[in-house]
Amino acid sequence: MQTITKAVITAGGYATRFLPITKAVPKEMLPLGDKPVIHYILQELQDAGITDVLLLIGRGRECLMNYLDKNYEVDDYLARRVTETPDAVPIKKDTNFFGAMNLYFRRVPLPRGVADCVKYAGSFVGDEPFVLAYCDDVFFGSNPTTEMLDAYQKNGNPAVITAPVPWADAHRYGIITKDGQIIEKPAKPTSNLVAVGRYLLPGGFCQTLENDIVAALNQVAHKNIITTQAKRFDTGNKHGFFQAFQYVMAQSKED
């Protein structure tokens, strides 16, 4: 079976739910503990064996690029401080967090929805299958990208990651039917199992993509519907983000 090495991350929206902070700071750079949201997503992809990642970013996202670039001044300082400061505690950190991956950036002119954004990945993924990751969803304890790739190696099928949500919240998501169809934000949900921002898509997906990402996903046949074993947080809203922050801080206390 073909080894999947590419992933696409959508990070081009205005994140109006988090205004006014997102007027100047991308939502993907908001911190969960001492790391921004984007760090957890890239760590998930790297741990799953993804080597090439395209970040589709909007205007004013330069700090994302700066964060993911090596900071030679900080690395030099960390190396020197131990010898220059007698009581300094060695800090075993390096700012090249994802040096093992090839990171690419493409600016999306205006946020016109997920489908319009993903179209810009066409030349990057070509005819290869790839992972599509939304920045709202952050996972802990298990790796949903690995779960998709493992299933793909068994049967070669595309995949969608699902997770249960409280019934009261199900109408806010795309619920998954038994035959793998996504029903976007139904008024009366018949299930609380929803798609949660991780997809393994077939080669050529971007070339046939029109203006509706859900319709395009529904046209993908023979999907592996995988209910992730990971603990998932929706950081696309303030309440979910706060819960994720609390979880990360609680884990750091245990460490």
Query: Cβ(24)–Cβ(124) under 8 Å?
Result: no
Give the pLDDT confidence score for residue 87 in this predicted structure: 65
Integer angstrom CA distances of residue 201 from 4, 165, 224: 10, 24, 11
d(CA 106, CA 121): 8
Give the pLDDT confidence score for residue 110 in this predicted structure: 81
Give the pLDDT confidence score for residue 92 in this predicted structure: 61
Q: Could you tell me the residue ranges of all domains in the chain? A: 6-254
d(CA 21, CA 225): 36
Cis, bond preceding 20 (omega within 30 deg of 0): yes
- Among residues 237, 183, 211, the alpha carbon closest in space to that of 113 is found at 211
Cβ-based neighbours of 58, under 8 Å, separated by 6 or more: 11, 12, 13, 14, 26, 107, 108, 110, 111
Give the pLDDT confidence score for residue 80 in this predicted structure: 79
Is the Cα torsion angle 203, 207, 208, 213 positive or negative in sign? positive
DSSP code, position 177: P
- pLDDT of the chain along its 255 residues, tens only? 789 999 999 998 888 898 898 888 999 999 999 999 999 999 999 999 999 999 999 888 888 999 998 888 888 887 777 676 766 666 666 788 898 899 999 999 888 889 999 999 999 999 999 999 999 999 999 999 999 999 999 999 999 999 999 999 999 999 998 888 999 999 999 899 999 999 999 999 998 888 899 999 999 989 999 999 999 999 999 999 999 999 999 987 655
Give the pLDDT confidence score for residue 246 in this predicted structure: 96
- Among residues 229, 251, 38, the alpha carbon closest in space to that of 141 is found at 229
CATH code for the domain defined by 6-254: 3.90.550.10
